[in-house]
Amino acid sequence: MESADAPARRRRARRGQGRHLGEGDLAAGKSTAARLKAWILFEDEAGQSLRPPKARTWSRRGQTPKILVSGKGSGRVNLAGMIAVRPGCRTRLIYRAIAYHGRRNEKKGFRERDLAGMLDAAHQQLGRANIVLVWDNDTSHRDAAMKKLIAERDWLTVFYLPTYTPTLNPVEGVWSALKRSLANLAPHGTDALAALVKTRLRIMQYRRDGLLDGFIAETGLGLEPP
């Protein structure tokens, strides 16, 4: 397994240190989770604007249905989600949403401390167990501020997905299902969109039909320890 920083390659691996997760490294990641009795958390961020995703629908022949959507403003709901999995436990979905109305000095998205706070909440929700976090190479995941926050959490081990491999992250399945559920809807403003998004995610959160496990299966990753 390759460490995130060159000098770290010459040091003994330890918790709180980032690593690149290649195809051949999955077994090592699973072994780490098994050794630490940890939850594996896949994390990703996304967003939804007021313009709804396109989708198919029914209508009379020759009469294309139309939905009026306001193009004004820059309202958007920014999302951060985690799928938490551990053998023998129910798979969990944890999420946060920030409604951005386009106002001056308003928070536009998730910063390093927001993500760290979300990890702290997940740590509490999962019984203060160790966590193996798997996420992409976004700047906010790798900069000095994030590395410092990671190092301060001895219960956290971080792996980075290879570049341009969204298909390896099951949270992408959550975003895909969410966008399909919002198709052909025209919410009246950013707050209405935020409420709708949270409702859809809450429904996924409490489903017992294996939906979240299905998102993991779609990645082709086997998460049982080697």
Task: Read off the pTM.
Answer: 0.82
In a domain, 107, yes or no: yes
Look up the CATH number of the domain holding residue 192.
3.30.420.10
**C-alpha torsion sign, points 31, 36, 42, 43:** negative
Percentage of the chain with pLDDT > 90?
Answer: 55
Which structural domain, as residue segments, surrounds residue 41?
A: 2-49+70-217
Label residue 103 by pLDDT band (50, 70, 90).
confident
Question: pLDDT tens-digit profile of 63-101?
Answer: 877 766 655 556 899 999 999 999 899 999 999 999 999
Per-position DSSP letters for the chain, written without gaps between them: -EESSGGGGGS---TT-EEE--GGGHHHHHHHHHHHTPEEEEEEEEEEESSPPP------TT----------S--EEEEEEEEEE-TTS--EEEEEEEEE---TT---S--HHHHHHHHHHHHHHTTT--EEEEE---HHHHSHHHHHHHHT-TTEEEEEPPTT-GGG-THHHHHHHHHHHTTT---SSHHHHHHHHHHHHHHHHT--SSHHHHHHHHHT---S--
Confirm whether 45 is domain-assigned: yes
Distance (Å, whole) CA 73 – CA 32: 46
Mean of pLDDT values over 2-16: 37
Answer yes or no: is 116 within a domain: yes
- The pLDDT value recorded for residue 158 is 94
Quote the pLDDT of residue 149. 97
Whether residue 194 lies inside any domain: the answer is yes
Structural domain total, the chain: 1
* Domain annotation covers residue 64: no
Q: Residue 226 falls within a domain, yes or no?
A: no
The confidence band for 25, taking pLDDT boundaries of 50, 70 and 90, is low
Of the given ranges (4-18, 96-110, 195-209), which has the lowest mean pLDDT? 4-18
Residue 222 domain-assigned?
no
Q: Is residue 63 part of a domain?
A: no
- Average pLDDT of the chain is 84
